[in-house]
Chain A
C-alpha cells in the first residue's frame, strides 16, 4: 500500500505505460537548443563549476547576484546532475524527462483514486499522447516539473476522503513542502491550485449554494471590477488559445466532454472540473499580465489538458468491461507508439523524405493521419448522442476506439511542433562539428541569433575552440575585416552572400531556412595559403576542399570551380554540388555551344496544386513564367516540376533568374535519393542563381532527374513568384579557365 493505493497489480501495466512514454519522448525529442533550456543549462554549468576556494557564501552570492535567487535555486538540480554526470543532452534533459514520466504515473494514480483503476492507465495514456506533453517533455526545463509538484499536491488532497490513509500530519507536511517548491517553480500555478483546493471545500459541503454564489460573485466581480475590460483580454486570449494548431482537435472535444460531464456531474468530477476552470483562469491572468507569450510551455496549459484527460478517462472507462479494459491497456499504448513511429520515422522506409511522387503523392504519412480530426469530432458527437446511453455493445467498442483515434489524430500536431524546432537545433550541432573538423582556427560570428550562440557555448561546455560572437549584419563586415572568420547564418538572413565566402556546409530540414556555415578570409592571407597549397597536388577530400575554399576566399572563384571539377573527376568524395551566388558564372563556364536540356519542356503541375491560375502566358520557362497566386495548399512548397535525364560522369550547370514576394527555395534537384536546393531567401528583384552539380560516380546509364526551379510556401493567399531563363546544360570541361 502506497498512499492508500494498491499499486502491486499494476506493475506490468505501469511498465508498459512508462516504456511507451519513454519511446514517445525519444521519438519526439527536440534536443537541447531552445532558449529556456539553454538559459538554465548556462546557469547550471556555472554553478557546477562552483569555486569554493574564495569561500562558500561569497561564491554562492556571486552566482546569485548574476542570475538571481530563483534561477539559482532552479538551476541547482541540473547543476548537481552536471557535477555527477557531466554536461550532455541527457543530463540536461534528465529532469523534465523524469518529471514527464512521473507525471504519467501521477495522472494515472490520480485517475485511479478518482474513478477507479479502469480509468487510471487510460488517463495516463491520454496525457502522454498530448502534443503539449510530448513537446514540453524535452523542450522546456520546468513545465513538467511544475506539473509534477502540482499533481503531487492534488494527489495528496484527493486522498483526503480516504479513511484508510494514516499519518495525516505527514500529508500536511508533504503538501507544505510541495507548495514551497511550487512557489519557486511557478507562483501562479501554486496560487491557482491552493485557491482551487480552498474553493473545493465549499463544494464538498451539503449546501452547494455558497460555492455557486462564490463562483458567480467571482465572475461578476471580475467583470465589474475590471470595468468589463476582462472581455477584451478574454477575446485576445481566446483567439491565441484557439490558434494553437492542436486546438482544431482539442477544442470541440473539450466542449463535448465538459457538456457531458456537467450534464450529470458526479462528486469525483469536481476536482478535474475545478482544475480545468482554475487553469483557464490562471492562463487568462498570465496572458493579461505577460502579453500572451508562451502558452504551450505554460504548466497551467498542461494542467488544463490534464484535467481533460482525467474527465475523458472517466467518460470512456466507465463503459469498459474489465477484460476489455485490461486488453486495451496493453494494446492501445503499443499500437499508438507504433503508429507514431511509423508516421515520424518509419515512413522513410517507403516514402522518400521530401519529394515523393511515388505513393499517392504524399509528403509523409502525416496527411493520412490528418484525415482523423473530422471523424474524431463526429464520433465524439455520435458517442455523446447515441452511444453513451443506448446500445451497450456499440458504446463499449466506441469507448475503446475513440481514445486511440483521438490520440492518433493528435500525432500530426506533435510532429508539426517537433519538426518546427528539432532540425534547426540539430543543425547547430552539425555546424559546430564542421567547424571543429576544420580546425576551428578562426573566430565564429553568428548573425542575429543569440540562441545559436548559446547553443554553441552549451555544446562546447563554455570552452569553444574559437571565440563565438553574436553580430548583426551591420557589424559583421567590420568584424570580418579583422582577419576573417566562420560565419553562421540562417539562409533567409543573408541574400546572395559575397562570392569570397566559402560555403562549408548548410544544415537543417529541407523546406525551412537552413543554417549556413561560411568561411571568410583576408584576401591576401588566402592568396598566401593558396600559394602554399598549390605547391603540392591535392590527394584527399580534405586537400581538395581546403583548396577550393581558399581559392574562393582569395577571390578566385573560377579557379575554385576548376579545382572542384577536378576533385569530382578524381572521385575523392567532395560535396557533389557547387553553389554560385554573386559572380558571373559565364566568365568561368563556356555556355556558348551547350544544349539547354530544359528548352521547350512543359512544366508538370505538382499534383494537388488545385488552385494554380496562371503559369506564364506561354508556359515558357526560358522567356518567363509567373505563378500567381499560389494557394496555401497543405503547406506544401512544391508547385511544378520537370523531369529530364542526365549522363553520368559529367558536370551540369543549373541556372534560373527569379523574383517573388515570398521566400523562395530556388533550384531544387533530385537525383536518385540525393536531393537539395540552392538557397532559401527573398528575391524581390530579378536575381540570377546558378548551381553546378556533378554526376561523377553514378552508374553509366542516363540518370533520371527531378527539377523544381523553385519552391515556396505562402504566408497569405496570392503570393506570387516569377522565373525566366531556366537552363540546365552540361559544362564543357575543356573550357575551364582560371
Chain B
C-alpha cells in the first residue's frame, strides 16, 4: 500500500507518529532502567546459552517463556551479546506497542484519536520503565495489543487471514508470559457477543421443552456444581476471606494507589503510579459511551474483560484453588491491560480537537515535553521542576473531572484550548517519578552494573584464581558473558567459567563484593575498589592457608631481592592473607607514603577497625588518655547531666530521646600536617543513629562522621588530616550527635597521631 503513494505524502502522513516514536525513544533512553530488575539477567543468560546451542527446559522455572529469550538469542547469534542488543527486544516491543495503540485508536476514532493514544502510551511511566529492561511485560503488551489489532481487522471483515495472524501473535504472547491467555477470553467474549442471538436461539431450542423440566434440571445441576465448588473452596481455603481481600485490589490501586509491591529489599504499600491518570481513564470510559460512540463498544469490552479478570480472576488451573492475581503484587503485570484504556482515552480526547490540529499539536507538545525530559533527570525532580510536574498532576485531575463539560463544549476555541492544555499537563504529570517504576529507583543498581564493567581490565590482569562474586550473573552479563559462569549449574561447551558464586571452603579466589573492609574477614586482602557514581565494588584476594603461606614466603623473598612497590604490595597482600600482623602495618605505612592515592586514609580506617588490637603498638600515644569529656550541648530530658563524664577508657551510657542534639566534647591540641586516627567503642539501641566525631568547622576542613547502629560495642574509627596551620592548634572535638530514641554507650575514646606528613 505504500508503493502507490508518493514519498512526500507518506512522510506527511506518518511524520506525526514518527515524531511521537522518536520522542518515545528519547524518553526511554533518558529514563533508562537497565538490566537490574527481577529475572532480567536470567532471561539474558537463557538467551546466551541458547545462542551457543545449549537449551534445557528444566534449567530454570522461566524456561517455558520461550518468547522471552528466543528473540534475544537470535539477536545474540547475529550481533553478539551486549547491552544494546539485549535491550533491543523490549525497546522495539515498547515502540511497537505505541504503533499498535495508534492503529487501533485510529481504527475506531480516526487519526487524531490514534495520535493522542500513541502520545499517551509514549509517556506512560510503566512502559517507559519496562522498555529498557528484559522483562516479559513489555513484549507481552506489544504482542497482545498487536493480536487484538489484527483480530479487529479480521472482525471488520477485510481479510480472514488476519485471524490467523492474530492467533499467532497471541500464541507468541503466551510464550512470553502465560497471563496473555486473558486476551483469548476477550476473543471468546467477542465471538459470543457477535453470535449472541444464534447462541441464545440454539440453546433455547435445545434445552427448552414445553414442560420446562429439562431446563430446571440443568439449572439444578449447575446449582449443585456451583454449590459443591463453593463448599470445597470453603473446605480448602477460606474463599470468602480471600475473595474479599482481593476484591477491589485493582480498583483501589488505580484510584488510591494502595498496593503491596514487593521488591525484595524494599516494599511499597502504595504507589502514585496511576492515581492522577485514573480519573481521566474513567471519564473516557463513561463519556465515550454517553457520547454514543457505539463503535468503541468492543474496546470497552476489551477493557472490561481485562479489568474483571484482574480484579477477581484466578491464576490457578486447579478449580478447587482460588489464587487471585493480587498475590503477585506487581503493577507491571497489568501493563497490557492499559492498552484499551489508553485507546479509549485517545478516542475521548480526540473529541476536543480536529485531526488536523492533532497532527500539528501533539508532536509539538511531545517535543516540548521531551525538552523538559532532556534536562538531567535528577534536576527534573528537584526544586522548581518538581513543583511543575506535581502541579500538572493537580491540573490533570481537575481537567479530567471537568472534561465532560469542556470536551463537549460547542465553542471550538474553548474546546481546542482545553484539550491542548489537558494533553500538555498529562504529559508533564506523567514525568513525575512514580516509584517504584522509575529509573531513579534503579540508579544505584545500574551504577553497580557499571562498576562491574569497570572491573573487567582487572580480571584480564589477574587470572590466577577464580572470581567469587556475590552477584555472579551481573558480573557475567557485564562482561558480555566472556568471564563465564555456570548459570543454573549448566556449563557451556569449550569454556571454563571464571566466575563462581560462593567462596569454597579452604580454597583461594578473588572475591568481588559490595562489602567494605570492616564487614569482611580480617584476612581478606583488599586489592582494588571500583566506583561508579554512588556504588563501590571491592575486590579482595582470599587465600587458603596453604596458598597464603606460600605466597607470603615468595613475596618476602621477592621483596628482599628487589624493593619495588609491586613487590611491597605483593608482600603486604600476602601478609594480610596469612594474618601476619607484624608485617601488615609497617607495609601499609610504607605503601601509603609511596602511593597515597592507592592507599588512602580510608584504608587505614578499615584496617584499624579490623585489626585495632594488633595495630596498637604502631599507633603511639593515646592523646585522650587523661581527657575528661564533659557534656557540651543540650541532651534533652537526661535525668542526671552531671554524671555525663567520660574519662579515659571508662564507659558512659547516655539515654537520648527523639530530636536530641548533643554530645560530649573535649578540647585537644593538634599538630599541623598530621594524620590523626580516632577510635572509640560504641553500642546503641537499634532505633538510633549516632554520628561519631564532629570536629569544629573551620579548624579541620573535613569532619568525619560515621553512622552507627549496633547492639554490641563496635569500634568506630575516623581518620583526618590537619591542615598546615603553622603551629599546634586547639580544636574542639564533639564525640557524638545522636538521632532517634534509645541509649548510646561510649567506651575507650582514643586519638592517635599516625604520621607526620612533613617528614
Contacts and interface: CB of A to CB of B under 8 A. Distances in A.
B6 interface: no
Interface string A128-143: 0000000000000000
A394 to B, nearest CB: 16
A231 B240 contact: no
Given A234-B393, A263-B290, A242 B240 contact: no
B637 interface: yes
A608 interface: yes
Interface in A222-236: 223, 227-232, 234-235
B637 A474 contact: yes
Interface in A618-657: 631-634
A729 B312 CA distance: 46
Interface stretch (A97-105, A144-152, A245-253): A245-253
B637 A632 contact: no
Given A374-B312, A377-B251, A227 B387 contact: yes
Interface stretch (A361-369, A491-499, A527-535, A669-677): A361-369
A472 B395 CA distance: 48
B262 A717 contact: yes
Given A259-B401, A385-B286, A371 B240 contact: yes
Contact of A252 (B242, B251, B267): B251
A684 B686 contact: yes
A370 B241 CA distance: 9
A704 interface: no
A228 B387 contact: yes
Contacts of A5: none
A184 B386 CA distance: 38
Nearest to A473: B655
B243 A371 contact: yes
Interface size class of B (residues with CB under 8 A): 35 or more
B281 to A, nearest CB: 10
Name the residue in B247, B279, B401 with the highest tally of chain A Cβ atoms < 10 Å from its Cβ.
B247
Nearest to A718: B267
A646 B717 CA distance: 58
**A interface: dominant SS:** helix
A339 B400 CA distance: 36
B297 to A, nearest CB: 10
Contacts of A586: none
B387 A367 contact: no
B416 to A, nearest CB: 15
Contacts of A373: 247-248, 251-252
Interface in B237-259: 237-245, 247-248, 251-252, 255-258
B270 interface: yes
B257 to A, nearest CB: 6
Contacts of A362: 238, 240-241
A354 B322 CA distance: 25
A525 B349 CA distance: 82
B397 A238 contact: yes
Interface string A458-483: 00000000000000101100100000
A611 B326 CA distance: 12
A514 B400 CA distance: 46
Interface string A557-593: 0000000000000000000000000000000000000
A239 interface: yes
B272 interface: yes
B256 A232 contact: no
B639 A474 contact: yes
A231 B394 contact: yes
Interface size class of A (residues with CB under 8 A): 35 or more
Contacts of B245: 367, 370, 633-634
B154 interface: no
A234 B260 contact: no
Contact of B387 (A231, A251, A717): A231
Interface string A696-735: 0000000000000000000011100000000000000000
A343 to B, nearest CB: 13
Nearest to A607: B238
A371 B322 CA distance: 15
Given A248-B251, A256-B282, A374-B247, A231 B238 contact: no
A230 B255 contact: no
A363 to B, nearest CB: 8
A176 B408 CA distance: 40
A242 B248 contact: no
Given A228-B387, A360-B241, A374-B247, A610 B394 contact: no
B248 A360 contact: no
B327 A634 contact: no
Given A371-B244, A634-B241, A232 B282 contact: no
A84 B235 CA distance: 59
Interface in B297-354: 300, 308, 311-312, 323, 327, 329
**B interface: dominant SS:** helix
Contact of A716 (B267, B386, B397, B400): B267
Contacts of B395: 219, 223
Contacts of B401: 255, 258-259, 262
B122 interface: no
Contact of A231 (B257, B327, B389): B389
A252 B237 contact: no
B386 A232 contact: yes
Contact of A255 (B262, B282, B323): B282
B252 A370 contact: no
B384 A248 contact: no
B643 to A, nearest CB: 14
A384 interface: yes
A211 to B, nearest CB: 13
Interface in A593-628: 607-608, 610-611
B381 to A, nearest CB: 11
A251 B251 CA distance: 10
A472 B655 CA distance: 13
A370 B323 CA distance: 18
B665 interface: no
A295 interface: no
Name the residue in B239, B257, B282 with the highest tally of chain A Cβ atoms < 10 Å from its Cβ.
B282
A391 interface: no
Contacts of A251: 255-256
Nearest to B311: A374
A156 interface: no
B390 A231 contact: yes
A591 B24 CA distance: 73
A223 B276 CA distance: 17
A265 interface: yes
A263 B327 contact: no
Interface string B155-178: 000000000000000000000000
A260 interface: yes
A235 B276 CA distance: 9
Nearest to B230: A360
Contact of B247 (A230, A370, A632, A717): A370
B405 interface: yes
A572 B674 CA distance: 79
B251 A238 contact: no
B392 A231 contact: yes
Given A238-B397, A361-B241, 12 more contacts: A227-B384, A228-B384, A243-B257, A259-B286, A262-B401, A368-B240, A374-B248, A374-B251, A385-B285, A607-B241, A610-B237, A634-B245
A-B interface, 3 closest residue pairs, ranked by CB to CB distance from nearest: A231-B391, A231-B390, A234-B394
Interface of A: 219, 223, 227-232, 234-235, 238-239, 242-243, 247-249, 251-252, 255-256, 258-260, 262-263, 265, 360-362, 367-368, 370-375, 377-378, 381, 384-385, 389, 472, 474-475, 478, 607-608, 610-611, 631-634, 684, 716-718
26 contacts: A228-B390, A231-B388, A231-B393, A238-B275, A243-B270, A247-B256, A248-B251, A248-B252, A255-B282, A255-B401, A256-B286, A259-B283, A367-B240, A371-B243, A371-B244, A373-B248, A374-B248, A385-B289, A474-B655, A607-B238, A607-B241, A610-B242, A634-B241, A634-B245, A684-B686, A718-B267
